[in-house]
């Protein structure tokens, strides 16, 4: 998708932009949306009930307004309004218009932020006819029914990439936005949260956090295709260039059980649709505690936190998913529920640490495995320490064999030059790495070239670049940025060898690279440990002694997931044009 060069916010700086509530029912009826659900279906207005939460930290007493056609500030038709309770929760009954009309929700905090800007958050619920068919939406049947900075950022990016218009917004289109602009959405969400929680103050006059989100999206080069994203730099610039909390907040959002799943895929909400074929599977997971406490995402600040446990691989060989979405394991270490494509799990590891996770699950392209397998990505907490924890996993039938050379050649290079024929480029976004005593705008990116084999990868720096170095320059319209030189090496050398996790309980859907070291010229950043990559996920995990670091993959090449239970085509774009 092409996005206009800065038109949207320029025409709206004098007034409050959009802001809606209720995170994106991104694919509320992806099946129907993909089969021509964009047209009107006729019929009469239907009554529906929505129950959710307005949350940055809980927005006590927030005014929740449901609108049809457009967000409230863009002239949407109000169809209901209510005040949230002390925890930000609400239940509202509305009369939905007939036909396929996009429905939005808006939430405004009655208290201004420390900067004077109003805390307003936005999201998209789905199409009126699909919502009417369900009758009542809660967090039980709509995985993302919480308004948050993530959904606010996602709508800002959608508007920027569609000329400020919501007329063509559908669940499928929203899901494509998530797939194509995930790291841009993350950076904007961190800026919204930084202002909402009082960490940082905008350096420009904005009336609301939605206005701020739109301004950042308008002034950034968004990172789809071959563009190197400048969104984190734009976010830092709008916050005065000194918001050192942005990396920490990005890490916190990625690993948070409420916010993390909102960054991936959409939401399947359709009668009798389940995104996993019932059966017995192996769960192959990487559990990676971060150095960030859950208090950061509940308005409690960032005081001293416990020492994170080392990143670990967990394998459970007998996890069952039944037709009702109940998840159990024979050893009782894993239990949970699957609703649409939202997976909620309680997990106990071998050291008896207990975790609670929420994650999105999508089917991997069949070319990547001898049997249909699934990729899981989300976040959670260590219930004992309260540390936020990244959760990347695969769910595969017993005996399924992955094909690590099964990825189709990417259609774009993500701005990486110098990868020889037969190799594919990867660009890692380093903006979510927390570095002490740093308040610059961005750590930039790290480019690598991967040579795939059936059971392993070899990874090296692009040709013409010194070992592990990535010096990239680009212009975001305000001048050239020269990104720092990142070095990623194994045993102080290159290339890096990734191999399937072996041992007493092998995990072939997870690659590991021991003895990795990551450093960045001009900063105190120096991390070392074991690298992990779970097939289909959007981040590389570096398990270090200081807590796990997340290297986000720019673009959607590695996450070719479908929201349906089977994925014969592969690719986010094909899946979002209709799986069912």
Residue 236 lies in a domain: yes
* Cα 236 to the center of its chain, rounded Å: 20
Please give the mean pLDDT across all residues of the chain. 81
When pLDDT is averaged across residues 422-442 and rounded to a whole number, the result is 67
When pLDDT is averaged across residues 371-386 and rounded to a whole number, the result is 96
Sheet containing strand 63-68, edge to edge, reads 77-83, 63-68, 102-112, 118-127
When pLDDT is averaged across residues 400-419 and rounded to a whole number, the result is 84
Rounded Cα gap, residues 290 and 295, in angstroms: 13
At 515-555, the pLDDT tens digits run: 999 887 766 677 899 999 999 999 999 988 778 888 888 87
Residue 252 lies in a domain: yes
Check whether residue 234 and residue 383 sit in a common domain: no
Whole-number pLDDT of residue 421: 85
| Per-residue pLDDT at 276 exceeds 80 | yes
List the structure tokens of 530: 């074991």
At 220-229, the pLDDT tens digits run: 888 776 666 7
Q: Which of 263, 294, 309 is the last residue of a domain?
A: 263
Closest listed residue to residue 396, CA positions, set 279, 561, 539, 265? 279
Whole-number pLDDT of residue 443: 62
Name the range with the highest mean pLDDT among 225-234, 397-406, 456-465, 477-486. 397-406
CB-based contact 390:382 (threshold 8 Å): no
Rounded Cα gap, residues 235 and 467, in angstroms: 31
- Scan for tokens 């050192």, then name that residue: 244
* Cα 338 to the center of its chain, rounded Å: 18
| Per-residue pLDDT at 355 exceeds 90 | yes
| Per-residue pLDDT at 574 exceeds 80 | no
577 or 150, higher pLDDT? 150
Task: Report pTM.
Answer: 0.86
Helix H or strand E segment including 177 = helix 171-180
Rounded Cα gap, residues 304 and 292, in angstroms: 9
- Scan for tokens 């025409």, then name that residue: 11
CB-based contact 64:123 (threshold 8 Å): no
| Per-residue pLDDT at 14 exceeds 70 | no
| Residue 35 pLDDT class (50, 70, 90 cuts) | very low
- My answer on whether omega of the bond before 375 falls inside 30° of 0, hence cis, is no
Rounded Cα gap, residues 439 and 457, in angstroms: 35
Check whether residue 11 and residue 140 sit in a common domain: yes
Closest listed residue to residue 21, CA positions, set 168, 150, 131? 150
Residue 42 lies in a domain: yes
What separation in angstroms does the CA of 188 have from each of 169, 253, 438, 540? 20, 11, 19, 21
Rounded Cα gap, residues 523 and 297, in angstroms: 26
Residue 415 lies in a domain: no
Measure the CA angle with vertex 122, ends 161 and 16; round to 5°.
Answer: 80
Torsions phi, psi of 408, nearest 5? -70, 150
List the structure tokens of 116: 């004077």
> Which long-range contacts (C-beta less than 8 Å, at least 24 apart) are formed by 80-84?
84/53, 84/54, 84/59, 84/60
Check whether residue 107 and residue 226 sit in a common domain: yes
| Per-residue pLDDT at 30 exceeds 70 | no
Rounded Cα gap, residues 194 and 41, in angstroms: 42
Whole-number pLDDT of residue 572: 44
Q: Tell me the three state secondary structure of residue 378.
A: strand
Helix H or strand E segment including 498 = strand 496-501
Q: Which of 212, 237, 263 is the last residue of a domain?
A: 263
Could you list the beta-strand ranges (E) of 30-157. 46-54, 63-68, 77-83, 89-96, 102-112, 118-127, 136-137, 146-147
Q: How many structural domains are present in the chain? A: 3
| Residue 556 pLDDT class (50, 70, 90 cuts) | confident
Rounded Cα gap, residues 20 and 125, in angstroms: 9
List the structure tokens of 546: 């200081």
Range of the domain at 108: 7-263
Q: Which of 242-246, 277-281, 315-319, 511-515 has the lowest mean pLDDT?
A: 242-246
Check whether residue 304 and residue 377 sit in a common domain: yes
List the structure tokens of 185: 């959405």
559 or 26, higher pLDDT? 559
Name the range with the highest mean pLDDT among 178-187, 193-202, 352-361, 403-412. 352-361
| Per-residue pLDDT at 576 exceeds 80 | no
The proportion of the chain whose per-residue pLDDT surpasses 90, expressed as a percent, equals: 42
Residue 357 lies in a domain: yes
At 148-157, the pLDDT tens digits run: 899 999 999 9
| Per-residue pLDDT at 96 exceeds 80 | yes
| Per-residue pLDDT at 272 exceeds 70 | no
When pLDDT is averaged across residues 132-152 and rounded to a whole number, the result is 78
Check whether residue 97 and residue 215 sit in a common domain: yes
Whole-number pLDDT of residue 50: 86
Residue 409 lies in a domain: no
Residue 364 lies in a domain: yes
Check whether residue 347 and residue 479 sit in a common domain: no
Check whether residue 237 and residue 333 sit in a common domain: no
When pLDDT is averaged across residues 26-40 and rounded to a whole number, the result is 33
Rounded Cα gap, residues 153 and 103, in angstroms: 17
| Residue 44 pLDDT class (50, 70, 90 cuts) | very low
Check whether residue 227 and residue 342 sit in a common domain: no
Please measure the distance between the N-terminal and C-terminal CA atoms of the chain and give it in whole angstroms: 24
Check whether residue 308 and residue 246 sit in a common domain: no
| Per-residue pLDDT at 467 exceeds 50 | no
Residue 101: Cβ within 10 Å count: 18
Residue 473 lies in a domain: yes
CB-based contact 93:76 (threshold 8 Å): no
* CATH number of 385's domain: 2.40.128
Check whether residue 163 and residue 114 sit in a common domain: yes
Q: Which of 21-35, 189-203, 329-343 has the lowest mean pLDDT?
A: 21-35
CB-based contact 495:458 (threshold 8 Å): yes
Rounded Cα gap, residues 547 and 544, in angstroms: 5
Q: Helix H segments across 20-167? A: 30-34, 128-134, 149-161
Whole-number pLDDT of residue 233: 83
Question: At a CB cut-off of 8 Å and minimum separation 6, what does 254 contact?
Answer: 186, 260, 263, 379, 390, 432, 539, 550, 552
Check whether residue 301 and residue 227 sit in a common domain: no
Whole-number pLDDT of residue 362: 92
List the structure tokens of 11: 């025409």
| Per-residue pLDDT at 215 exceeds 70 | yes
Q: Which of 263, 288, 314 is the last residue of a domain?
A: 263
Whole-number pLDDT of residue 32: 31
- DSSP one-letter code for 462: P
Closest listed residue to residue 24, CA positions, set 133, 176, 160, 162? 176
Check whether residue 90 and residue 203 sit in a common domain: yes
| Residue 415 pLDDT class (50, 70, 90 cuts) | confident
């Amino acid at each position: 998708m092409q996005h206009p060069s800065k038109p949207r916010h320029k025409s709206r700086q004098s007034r409050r932009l959009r802001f809606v509530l209720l995170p994106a029912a991104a694919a509320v009826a992806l099946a129907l949306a993909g089969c021509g659900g964009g047209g009107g279906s006729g019929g009469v207005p239907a009554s529906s009930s929505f129950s959710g939460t307005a949350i940055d930290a809980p927005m006590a007493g927030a005014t929740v307004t449901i609108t049809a056609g457009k967000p409230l500030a863009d002239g949407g038709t109000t169809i209901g309004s209510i005040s949230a309770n002390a925890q930000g929760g609400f239940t509202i009954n509305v009369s939905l218009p007939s036909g396929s009309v996009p429905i939005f929700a808006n939430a405004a905090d009655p208290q201004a932020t420390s900067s004077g800007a109003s805390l307003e958050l936005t999201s998209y619920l789905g199409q009126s006819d699909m919502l009417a068919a369900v009758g009542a939406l809660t967090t039980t049947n709509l995985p993302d029914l919480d308004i948050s900075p993530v959904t606010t950022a996602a709508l800002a990016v959608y508007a920027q990439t569609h000329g400020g218009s919501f007329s063509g917004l559908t669940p499928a289109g929203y899901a494509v936005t998530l797939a194509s602009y995930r790291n841009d959405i993350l950076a904007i969400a961190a800026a919204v949260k930084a202002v909402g929680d009082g960490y940082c103050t905008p350096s420009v006059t904005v009336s609301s956090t939605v206005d701020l989100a739109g301004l950042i999206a308008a002034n950034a080069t968004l990172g789809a295709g071959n563009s190197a994203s400048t969104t984190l730099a734009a976010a830092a610039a709008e916050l005065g260039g000194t918001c050192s909390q942005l990396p920490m907040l990005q890490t916190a959002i990625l690993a948070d059980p409420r916010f993390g799943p909102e960054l991936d895929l959409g939401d399947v909400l359709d009668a009798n649709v389940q995104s996993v074929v019932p059966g017995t599977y192996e769960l192959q997971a990487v559990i990676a505690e971060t150095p960030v406490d859950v208090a950061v995402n509940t308005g409690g600040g960032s005081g001293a936190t416990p020492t994170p446990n080392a990143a670990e691989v967990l394998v459970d060989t007998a996890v069952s998913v039944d037709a009702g979405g109940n998840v159990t394991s024979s050893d009782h270490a894993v239990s949970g529920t699957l609703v649409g494509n939202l997976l909620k799990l309680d997990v106990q590891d071998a050291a008896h640490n207990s975790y609670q996770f929420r994650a999105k699950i999508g089917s991997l392209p069949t070319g990547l495995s001898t049997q249909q397998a699934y990729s899981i990505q989300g976040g959670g907490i260590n219930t004992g320490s309260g540390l936020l924890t990244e959760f990347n996993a695969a769910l595969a039938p017993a005996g399924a064999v992955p094909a690590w050379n099964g990825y189709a050649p990417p259609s774009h290079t993500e701005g990486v030059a110098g990868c020889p024929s037969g190799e594919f480029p990867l660009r890692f976004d380093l903006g979510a790495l927390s570095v002490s005593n740093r308040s610059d705008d961005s750590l930039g990116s790290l480019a690598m070239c991967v040579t795939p084999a059936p059971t392993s990868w070899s990874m090296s720096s692009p040709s013409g670049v010194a070992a592990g170095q990535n010096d990239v320059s680009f212009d975001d319209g305000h001048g050239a940025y020269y990104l720092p030189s990142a070095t990623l090496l194994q045993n102080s050398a290159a290339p890096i060898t990734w191999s399937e996790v072996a041992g007493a309980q092998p995990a072939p859907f997870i690659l590991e690279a021991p003895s990795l070291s990551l450093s960045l010229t001009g900063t105190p950043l120096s991390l070392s440990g074991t690298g992990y990559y779970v097939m289909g996920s959007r981040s590389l995990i570096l398990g270090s002694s200081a807590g796990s670091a997340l290297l986000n993959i720019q673009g959607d090449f590695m996450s070719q997931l479908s929201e349906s239970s089977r994925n014969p085509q592969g690719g986010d774009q094909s899946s979002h044009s209709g799986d069912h």
